[in-house]
């Protein structure tokens, strides 16, 4: 049996790696994807292009504005002299925020009156807008505290007894960099796509070209064919995961706090379900186009419902139930736990069991279907 | 160009598409599925943060402070623990996203009017969520401090000067999406992503399939010209694409009530231009690779990921590093996303998006021209 498996494995490797362009797709594109992902996917809001409309033009107004720009969150894009210009800049998306200081700002402060300043935020991207507004509120709060301190006659920054002194600490990702959160997830995403696509199309290609019939007249048994058709892609999947993990650790300096051995064990469990799904898709498709569309139809929602970008806790309850069937959901918890939190099997065992159960179920089901279709 | 031959190719392609109803069904169901997911299930808005509390003071005063978190819709107190280790375990296992630690002398210090250190621990793995949670905590603590300042212990706040204190009042206004709903910016951008992916995925197989099955030889033996083949092959997919756009726009309008402030004609006009480019790109991949597996893998890599990540659809381009920002200028979806968001949320007219429009036209003409050159009616 193993000799026949070995031969089909060899044939599969030859076929995939014969084409140098396919080699590039398997070994180079994951790295490129990770690099692009790692740099592009950031939800950290910094250097917000801001239009400034200062009607007061006093040292006080300039001091207030300089606080905005010294914070690192805002960047002056243009000093405008007309309100209409703000509208124009916003329409073109040249700026996403605008600060307007009205005439008489300094005078009002001197007269101990409330002095208003206006902030306009482009709400197109609601998430960024929320963050921008909280930055602005924080800057103004500090400014006010300093004003109060000055009025009472205390040095700046030592206003006593706000009542509560909030000491916040972020664990696992001290600087709150979004890259640390996304990069481990990308490792899972890429491993999934490669194995899913290769497995689902490998069988269908034989069927479409007509070589499957030749395989069927050989003494090969279905089990051997399944092993021969999944093992090479499992190996490629493992290799890709190792490759991108290396890039994540060496290039992006994402810490890997947990055990590497556990990571590979969990990857094995995860690949069981992706290979099983790929095999299943191959049994329900008769052309490569169908296989590809089905793969995509499964992959895209699986990514969206995995907690990769959108927290599962925010989803409606019914949708949350559906996510329990998603292998990526469990693997993301494991891989993030291993990378960032450095936890081990004592905490991750429920996810591992879920992956194992899901994987064996899918793999068995599709193997049975696959054998039936061959007969 | 001979229209009769174009029609013949288009008809043959159409028959082939209709025969494979499953692929066609998925091409039409995919946009609907994605829109429903993004409209109902996926949100980046944070609330009901799972919170674990370690109250070491256990007095009426500290309980009152904690209950303010409990009453807020942003927090959901999952558990009260009695040791720091238990709190740590809750955060380690992901059962809680935030830990609140109240010191032994909380009420004592309040009675004396001193400053009280309260510790907040956040699961920073998801930095975005953590930042937003921290903002909520700060807001809540500020209100608490304000209430405290009215008590006699915190006299410093009722200092006589305070009544006439100069203060800056920040008035914020949000333009274009005043309710700050994420669906209002996700759905217009999503249309671009769906278009790009569906269009390129579908066409990436058309030529490669003919090569793999051997029917290309028959095609070569006919008098058909390159451009006739390209137009004929793309035409049916163009209509599928337009159908997808119409469905998406209709759903955005009637199901999700995304405000459409701009011109519908402009929306469809720019979609058509973009569609030609996206279809052409898939076609080009098909011509160059001659292999369905390779073409579909490449289509996934060069359309899906860039359209999803580098187009400004979800992750705003201005937050990216400079080098990546330069790269985004090469992504056609970037221009289309800008156009769509502009038309939807800002109601801008053709004048504002001239530059984007010109680029899209150039891109579409470019890929078609390259496909035309690359496609050789030869058996090599």
In the block, which residue shows the tokens 């076609």? B283
Q: Are A50 and A99 in contact (CB under 8 A)?
A: yes
DSSP three-state, residue A171: strand
Q: Are B98 and B119 in contact (CB under 8 A)?
A: no
Neighbours of A63 (CB within 10 A): 11
Confidence band, pLDDT 50/70/90 cuts, at residue A2: confident
pLDDT of the residue at A160: 46
Nearest residue in B to A160, CA atom: B115
pLDDT of the residue at B142: 76
**Residue A243: pLDDT above 50?**
yes
pLDDT of the residue at B161: 44
Determine the Cα–Cα distance for residues A168 and A179; give it in Å rounded to an integer: 21
Strands (E) in chain A, as ranges, are 48-54, 74-79, 97-101, 114-122, 164-171
3-class SS shares of chain A: helix, strand, coil, % to 5:
70, 10, 20
Determine the Cα–Cα distance for residues B233 and B10; give it in Å rounded to an integer: 6
Q: Are B102 and B55 in contact (CB under 8 A)?
A: yes
**Residue B166: pLDDT above 70?**
no
Burial bucket for residue B109 (CB in 10 Å: 0-12, 13-18, 19+) = buried
Q: Answer yes or no: do B168 and A133 touch at CB < 8 A.
A: no
Mean pLDDT on A252-274: 89
A48-54/A164-171 β-pairing? unpaired
Give B90's Cβ-side CA count (13 Å radius). Answer: 23
Closest-CA distance, A224 to chain B, in angstroms, reads 23
Token digits for B312? 């400004």
User: How does the average pLDDT of chain B come out, rounded?
Assistant: 83
Determine the Cα–Cα distance for residues B250 and B32; give it in Å rounded to an integer: 10
In the block, which residue shows the tokens 């569309």? A293
Nearest residue in A to B136, CA atom: A134
Nearest residue in B to A20, CA atom: B294
Minimum-distance CB partner of A113 among B37, B50, B166: B166
Give A70's Cβ-side CA count (13 Å radius). Answer: 9
Nearest residue in B to A311, CA atom: B44
Residue-wise pLDDT for B107-125, tens only, equals 888 887 777 888 888 887 7
**Residue A173: pLDDT above 70?**
no
Q: Which of A359-373, B164-178, B187-201, B245-259 has the lowest mean pLDDT?
A: B164-178
Residue-wise pLDDT for B318-331, tens only, equals 777 888 888 888 88
Q: Best-predicted range by mean pLDDT among A112-121, A158-167, B362-371?
A: B362-371
Restricting to B residues 22-41, those with a Cβ less than 8 Å away from any Cβ of A are: 22-23, 26-27, 29-30, 33-34, 37-38, 40-41
Minimum-distance CB partner of A171 among B123, B134, B142: B123
What single-letter DSSP state applies at residue B344? I
- b (16+ CB within 10 A) / e for A156-192: eeebebbbbebebebbbbeebbbbbbbbbbbbbbbbb
**Residue B162: pLDDT above 60?**
no
Determine the Cα–Cα distance for residues B345 and B177; give it in Å rounded to an integer: 7
A18 contacts chain B (CB < 8 A): no
Determine the Cα–Cα distance for residues A340 and A255; give it in Å rounded to an integer: 7
Restricting to A residues 135-194, those with a Cβ less than 8 Å away from any Cβ of B are: 136-138, 140-141, 143-144, 147-148, 151-152, 160-174, 176-178, 180-181, 193
**Residue A188: pLDDT above 80?**
yes
In chain B, where does DSSP find H-type helix? 3-19, 21-36, 60-71, 84-92, 106-112, 127-148, 182-203, 206-213, 216-220, 226-254, 264-289, 292-299, 305-309, 322-328, 332-341, 354-374
For A43, B287, B359, the CA distances from A125, given in Å and listed in that order, are 11, 38, 23
**Residue A355: pLDDT above 80?**
yes
pLDDT of the residue at A172: 64
DSSP three-state, residue A76: strand
Determine the Cα–Cα distance for residues A129 and A108; give it in Å rounded to an integer: 29
Indicate where chain A has its CATH 3.40.1710.10 domain(s). Answer: 48-152
**Residue B163: pLDDT above 60?**
no
Q: Which of A245-254, A320-329, B275-284 has the lowest mean pLDDT?
A: A245-254
pLDDT of the residue at A174: 63
Q: What is the ipTM of this complex?
A: 0.75
Neighbours of A111 (CB within 10 A): 11
A with B: how many residue pairs have Cβ under 8 Å apart? 358
pLDDT of the residue at A157: 47
Domains of chain B and any CATH numbers? 8-42+179-374 (no CATH), 49-164 (3.40.1710.10)
Model confidence, pTM? 0.78
Token digits for B130? 């953590």
Residue-wise pLDDT for A59-96, tens only, equals 888 888 988 888 888 989 999 988 888 888 887 778 88
More confidently predicted of A15 and B235: B235
Q: Are A223 and A371 in contact (CB under 8 A)?
A: yes
DSSP three-state, residue B42: coil
Residue-wise pLDDT for A305-329, tens only, equals 988 888 787 788 888 899 999 999 9
Confidence band, pLDDT 50/70/90 cuts, at residue A267: very high
A47 contact residues in B (CB cutoff 8 A): 318-319
B130 contact residues in A (CB cutoff 8 A): 170, 173, 176
Token digits for B78? 């999952």
Determine the Cα–Cα distance for residues A271 and B232; give it in Å rounded to an integer: 41
Q: pLDDT exceeding 70 applies to what percent of chain A?
A: 91
**Residue B298: pLDDT above 80?**
yes
Q: What are the residues facing B121 on neighbouring strands?
A: A169, B99
Q: Answer yes or no: do A131 and B169 touch at CB < 8 A.
A: no
Nearest residue in B to A301, CA atom: B34
Please give the distance of CA B74 from its chain centroid, rounded to a whole number: 23
**Residue B164: pLDDT above 70?**
no
Residue-wise pLDDT for A102-161, tens only, equals 888 888 888 777 788 888 888 777 777 777 888 888 888 888 877 777 776 665 544 444
pLDDT of the residue at A170: 62
Residue-wise pLDDT for B5-56, tens only, equals 889 888 988 888 888 888 888 888 888 888 888 887 777 777 788 899 999 9
Restricting to B residues 271-330, those with a Cβ less than 8 Å away from any Cβ of A are: 289, 291-294, 296-298, 300-301, 305-306, 309-310, 314-316, 318-321, 323-324, 327-328
Please give the distance of CA A347 from its chain centroid, rounded to a whole number: 23
Residue-wise pLDDT for B63-102, tens only, equals 888 998 888 888 989 999 999 889 888 887 778 888 999 8
Closest-CA distance, A228 to chain B, in angstroms, reads 18
Restricting to B residues 236-275, those with a Cβ less than 8 Å away from any Cβ of A are: none
Q: Which of A152-161, A217-226, B146-155 has the lowest mean pLDDT?
A: A152-161
pLDDT of the residue at B380: 65
- b (16+ CB within 10 A) / e for B127-165: bbbbbbbbbbbbebbbebbeebbeeebbebbeeeeeeeb
**Residue A190: pLDDT above 50?**
yes
The reply to whether CATH 3.40.50.720 applies to domain A48-152 is no
pLDDT of the residue at B174: 67
Q: In what order do the strands lie in the sheet with B49-55?
A: A164-171, B116-123, B98-102, B49-55, B75-81
What single-letter DSSP state applies at residue B162? G
pLDDT of the residue at B154: 59
Burial bucket for residue A136 (CB in 10 Å: 0-12, 13-18, 19+) = buried
User: How does the average pLDDT of chain A come out, rounded?
Assistant: 83
Residue B57 neighbours by CB under 8 Å, 6+ apart: B102, B103, B104, B105, B106, B107
Determine the Cα–Cα distance for residues B194 and A252; give it in Å rounded to an integer: 30
């Amino acid at each position: 049996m193993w000799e026949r498996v070995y031969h089909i494995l060899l044939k599969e490797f030859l076929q995939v790696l014969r084409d140098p362009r396919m080699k590039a797709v398997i070994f180079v594109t994951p790295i490129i994807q990770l690099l692009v992902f790692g740099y592009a996917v950031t939800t950290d809001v910094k250097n917000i292009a801001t239009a400034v409309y200062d009607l007061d033009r006093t040292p006080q107004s300039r001091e207030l504005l300089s606080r905005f720009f010294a914070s690192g969150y805002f960047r002056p894009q243009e000093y405008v002299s007309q309100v209409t210009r703000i509208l124009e800049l916003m329409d073109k998306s040249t700026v996403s925020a605008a600060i307007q200081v009205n005439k008489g700002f300094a005078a009002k402060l001197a007269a101990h009156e409330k002095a208003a300043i206006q902030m306009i935020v482009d709400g197109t991207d609601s998430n960024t807008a929320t963050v921008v507004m909280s930055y602005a509120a924080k800057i103004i709060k500090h400014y006010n505290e300093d004003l109060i301190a000055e009025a009472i006659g205390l040095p700046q920054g030592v206003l006593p007894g706000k009542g509560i002194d909030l000491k916040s600490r972020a664990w696992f990702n001290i600087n709150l960099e979004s890259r640390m959160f996304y990069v481990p997830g990308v490792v899972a995403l890429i491993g999934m796509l490669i194995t899913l696509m290769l497995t689902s199309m490998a069988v269908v290609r034989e069927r479409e070209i007509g070589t499957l019939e030749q395989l069927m007249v050989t003494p090969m048994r279905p089990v051997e064919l399944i092993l021969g058709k999944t093992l090479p892609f499992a190996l490629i999947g493992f290799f890709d995961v190792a490759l991108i993990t290396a890039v994540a650790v060496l290039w992006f300096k994402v810490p890997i706090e947990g055990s590497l051995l556990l990571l590979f064990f969990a990857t094995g469990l995860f690949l069981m379900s992706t290979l099983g799904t790929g095999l299943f898709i191959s049994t329900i498709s008769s052309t490569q186009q169908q296989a590809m569309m089905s793969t995509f139809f499964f992959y895209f929602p699986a990514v969206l419902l995995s907690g990769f970008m959108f927290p599962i806790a925010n989803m409606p309850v019914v949708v949350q139930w559906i996510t329990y069937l998603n292998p990526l959901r469990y693997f993301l918890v494991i891989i993030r736990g291993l990378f960032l939190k450095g936890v081990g099997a004592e905490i991750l065992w429920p996810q591992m069991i879920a992956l194992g159960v899901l994987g064996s179920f899918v793999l068995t089901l599709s193997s049975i279907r696959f054998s039936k279709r061959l007969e | 160009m001979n229209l009769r031959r174009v029609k013949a190719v288009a008809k043959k392609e159409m028959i082939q598409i209709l025969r494979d109803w499953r692929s066609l069904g998925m091409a039409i169901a995919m946009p609907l599925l994605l829109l429903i997911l993004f409209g109902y299930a996926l949100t980046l808005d944070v609330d009901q943060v799972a919170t674990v509390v370690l109250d070491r003071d256990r007095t009426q005063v500290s309980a009152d402070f904690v209950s303010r978190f409990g009453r807020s819709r942003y927090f959901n107190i999952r558990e009260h623990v009695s040791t720091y280790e238990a709190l740590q375990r809750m955060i380690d296992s992901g059962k809680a996203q935030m830990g609140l630690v109240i010191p032994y002398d909380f009420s004592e210090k309040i009675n004396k009017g001193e400053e009280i250190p309260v510790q907040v621990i956040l699961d920073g793995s998801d930095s975005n969520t953590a930042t937003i949670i921290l903002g909520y905590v700060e807001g809540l603590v500020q209100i608490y401090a304000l209430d405290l300042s009215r008590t006699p212990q915190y006299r410093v706040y009722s200092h006589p000067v305070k009544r006439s204190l100069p203060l800056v009042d920040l008035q914020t206004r949000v333009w274009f999406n005043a309710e700050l709903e994420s669906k209002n910016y996700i759905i217009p951008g999503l249309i671009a992503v769906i278009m790009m992916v569906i269009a390129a995925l579908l066409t990436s197989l058309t030529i490669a399939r003919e090569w793999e099955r051997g029917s290309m030889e028959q095609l070569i033996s006919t008098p058909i010209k390159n451009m006739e083949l390209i137009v004929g092959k793309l035409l049916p997919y163009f209509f599928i694409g337009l159908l997808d756009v119409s469905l998406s726009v209709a759903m955005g309008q009637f199901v999700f009530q995304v405000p459409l402030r701009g011109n519908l004609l402009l929306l469809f006009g720019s979609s058509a231009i973009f569609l030609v480019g996206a279809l052409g790109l898939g076609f080009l991949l098909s011509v160059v690779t001659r292999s369905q597996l390779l073409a579909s893998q490449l289509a996934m890599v060069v359309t899906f990921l860039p359209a999803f990540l580098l187009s400004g659809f979800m992750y705003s381009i201005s937050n990216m590093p400079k080098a990546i920002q330069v790269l985004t200028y090469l992504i056609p979806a970037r221009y289309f996303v800008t156009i769509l968001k502009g038309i939807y949320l800002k109601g801008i007219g053709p004048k504002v998006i001239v530059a984007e429009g010109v680029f899209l036209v150039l891109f579409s003409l470019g890929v078609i021209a390259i496909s035309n050159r690359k496609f050789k009616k030869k058996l090599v």
